[in-house]
Amino acid sequence: MKDFKHIIYWIAVLIPVFILSACSEDFLERPPKDAIVDASFYKSDDQVLASTALLYSKVWFDYNDKASYNLGDFRAGTAFSAYNDRGNVLFNTTGNTPENGASWRSFFIVVGQSNLAISNINQYAGSAVSPTIKKLAIAEARFMRAVAYRSLVMNWGAVPIIEDNIKILSDTSVSRNTPESVWKFITSEMRAVANDLPETPIRTGRITKWSAEGMLARFYLTRSGVEAKGSGKRNQMFLDSAKYYAERVIIKSGGSLLKNYSDLFLFPYDNNAESLFSLQWVYSPGVWGTQNSTPAYLAYSSDIANGDGWGGDKSATWWMMSKYDGIKVTATGMQGRTLDQRLKATFMLPGASYPEITQSITGGEQKLIFPFTGTDNNFLSIKKYITGKAKDVGGQSAQQNYGNDTYMMRLSEMYLVYAEAVLGNNTSTTDPVALQYFNKVHMRAGLPIFEGPLTFDVIFKERLCEFAMEGMAWYDLVSLHYYDAAKAYSILNEQDRGMFFTAPDQFPNPTSWTFTKTSWATTERTIVANSGNFLLPIPSAELSQAPNLQKPPVDYYSK
């Protein structure tokens, strides 16, 4: 276990810093009484760093738990649940959908606790605290706040920008701010943060200058379409900025792609050379909120889990499977195999072997061979982030308690951001550097060199295969929606999210599969996405607590 994770664990045990989700349903709540406000706490560099440690885990817990894949993948159409989470699967998320409220709450918890950390460090940091550490800790909090606001504005559109938790309590005029001003705010914040963070992590798992510049590449690529308002024409200055920052991270960060894609999710993968920013979870018996609970809901069976394994009805969608090279659509269904190593590392197909995971079987155990079951429907279960039983991870897991980190940004994204920024407003590009960077990702997956030209559809498909089940696909669609809403709706409305049957040509170790749509499952296969349901509705509980959220948004910078 890394030193940084020791810090997270012991703070969680000894100092109840963040009793968050139970405090109130009002995101404008007063900072919780159990937050660290004792002036005696900020007297050393270690104490100041400890005050921001849980910004890497617990504040994100409600989102990471189940909401991240519900919004990031179920709404996007890369995966589905046949019997649960149907509101998100069917693109019918309401103000009362649990994952909607959990996400909103979690993101504003990040904002509120980041604000509190900034205030407390500025107010209480003693003379023994070095200026470098004080600056770094404040930068960490501003970074987290900006990342949270990126998710807020992309999910709900206009949202209120809050920089001071205390001041907001006495301001009855607080309203939502326009998406354009939110994007201006978070970009400005991240530019400042990049200058205050070190080039190498002060401790394992901490963010760096390259984490911030990677976020700037991501931010600018999306922001290039924010003011297009459906015109299809992205802002060239912001595209150039996305390209600039992506290449700086690629060249200067010292990061590198792992040789094998599957290694990204094999224990212990935490804080590897490809990770630019990860949530730092820790196996923490007896402590709730600093551990990774998501594998409990994704693992297909208790046979490979620790008393959980509740994801038996979760699967890749038919649409997602059609995106892998080599899986061919026929008159009756789909058939084939793929060289793309990302498929096996992301979803489990009948007969596939995973020797790193122990599987309980009648009479004993074996190394996992994903079962072939059913006669007319089965599920291609989730593999990504599934690390197995406690014995498979050195004893470091238990029910709903896993220690593996969650990627928030990987270096491979920078290669694809660069390629898309070069493509920009063109129909296609054969730019040699863009192709070179694209192929770094494409060929790492085991695929042959892509000769070009690069188009939006080619890059979008690559991103789907690279980041499926990492909560990314939805935000890619939102980025597209900013400047070409019609295309975003078209992608969503053409998806098939219904049940199907996957049969291997042999079991185990198949060489190909045949995919057939379940004949009796004829309804709820498609969705209808439009301007009325694309963004999430503000959670009902929040509207009742903060009626100003229903007022027209205002420019944050015109007040």
CATH number of the domain that 37 lies in? 1.25.40.390
Query: Within a domain: residue 283?
Result: no
Dist CA 447 CA 338 (whole Å): 9
183 and 149 in contact (C-beta within 8 Å)? no
Query: Within a domain: residue 261?
Result: no
pLDDT for position 173: 64
55 and 146 in contact (C-beta within 8 Å)? no
pLDDT for position 15: 37
- CA pseudo-torsion sign 431, 481, 72, 188: positive
Both tokens of residue 192?
């400042």
pLDDT digits (tens, 9 = 90+) for 419-438: 999 999 999 999 999 999 99
- Which residues sit opposite 367 in a β-bridge? 358
Dist CA 47 CA 41 (whole Å): 6
106 and 67 in contact (C-beta within 8 Å)? yes
- Percentage of the chain with pLDDT > 70? 92
In this structure, the answer to whether residues 221 and 298 fall within a common structural domain is: no
In angstroms, the Cα distances linking 37 to 42, 48, 123 are 9, 12, 10
Q: Of 217, 282, 222, give the one whose Cα is nearest residue 255.
A: 217
Q: What is the SS3 assignment for 462?
A: helix
In this structure, the answer to whether residues 510 and 544 fall within a common structural domain is: no
Query: Within a domain: residue 409?
Result: no
In this structure, the answer to whether residues 313 and 209 fall within a common structural domain is: no
Q: What is the SS3 assignment for 80?
A: strand
Count of structural domains within the chain:
2
In this structure, the answer to whether residues 511 and 544 fall within a common structural domain is: no
pLDDT digits (tens, 9 = 90+) for 174-209: 789 999 999 999 999 999 999 999 999 999 999 999
542 and 155 in contact (C-beta within 8 Å)? no
In this structure, the answer to whether residues 88 and 196 fall within a common structural domain is: yes
pLDDT for position 412: 98
Q: What is the SS3 assignment for 409?
A: strand
In this structure, the answer to whether residues 211 and 310 fall within a common structural domain is: no
- CA pseudo-torsion sign 128, 132, 133, 137: positive
Q: How confident is the model at residue 171 (pLDDT cuts 50, 70, 90)?
A: low
Both tokens of residue 328?
């061919």
pLDDT for position 8: 37
**Residue carrying structure tokens 């007969």:** 351
In this structure, the answer to whether residues 101 and 199 fall within a common structural domain is: yes
Dist CA 384 CA 368 (whole Å): 14
Amino acid identity, residue 149? Y
The pLDDT of residue 367 is above 50: yes
pLDDT for position 17: 40
- Which residues sit opposite 314 in a β-bridge? 81
Both tokens of residue 304?
């490979």
Dist CA 539 CA 102 (whole Å): 9
Q: How confident is the model at residue 38 (pLDDT cuts 50, 70, 90)?
A: low
Domain, as residue range, for 363: 294-402+500-517
**Residue carrying structure tokens 């084939």:** 336
- DSSP E strands in 197-270: the ranges are none
Dist CA 443 CA 243 (whole Å): 21
How many C-beta neighbours within 10 Å does residue 370 have? 25
pLDDT digits (tens, 9 = 90+) for 92-147: 999 999 999 999 999 999 999 999 999 999 999 999 999 999 999 999 999 999 99
In this structure, the answer to whether residues 207 and 336 fall within a common structural domain is: no
- Percentage of the chain with pLDDT > 90? 86
The pLDDT of residue 29 is above 50: no
| N- to C-terminal Cα separation, the chain | 48
pLDDT for position 167: 73
CA 247 to chain centre: 22
The pLDDT of residue 23 is above 70: no
In this structure, the answer to whether residues 365 and 505 fall within a common structural domain is: yes
In this structure, the answer to whether residues 186 and 309 fall within a common structural domain is: no
Q: Of 50, 187, 179, 159, give the one whose Cα is nearest residue 103.
A: 159
195, containing H or E segment: helix 179-196
**CB within 8 A of 331, min separation 6: which ones?**
none
The DSSP secondary-structure symbol of 448 reads P
Helices (H), 253-340: 294-298, 318-321
∠ CA 425-430-434, nearest 5°, is 80
The set of long-range contacts for 261-266, using a CB threshold of 8 Å and a minimum separation of 24, is 261/341, 261/342, 261/345, 261/444, 261/445, 261/446, 262/341, 262/344, 262/345, 264/345, 264/407, 264/410, 265/345, 265/383, 265/384, 265/385, 265/386, 265/387, 266/356, 266/387
Return the half-sphere exposure (C-beta side, CA atoms, 13 A cut-off) of residue 286: 4
Query: Within a domain: residue 201?
Result: yes
Pairing of strands 500-504, 513-517: antiparallel
Query: Within a domain: residue 306?
Result: yes
In this structure, the answer to whether residues 222 and 301 fall within a common structural domain is: no
Helix orientation angle between 131-156 and 98-124, rounded to the nearest 10 degrees: 160
In this structure, the answer to whether residues 298 and 218 fall within a common structural domain is: no
Dist CA 133 CA 110 (whole Å): 21
**Residue carrying structure tokens 């100041």:** 48
**Residue carrying structure tokens 């996405």:** 529
Query: Within a domain: residue 437?
Result: no
Query: Within a domain: residue 433?
Result: no
Dist CA 157 CA 147 (whole Å): 15
pLDDT for position 341: 97
Among 225-234, 286-295, 500-509, whose mean pLDDT is lowest? Answer: 225-234
95 and 538 in contact (C-beta within 8 Å)? yes
Query: Within a domain: residue 473?
Result: no
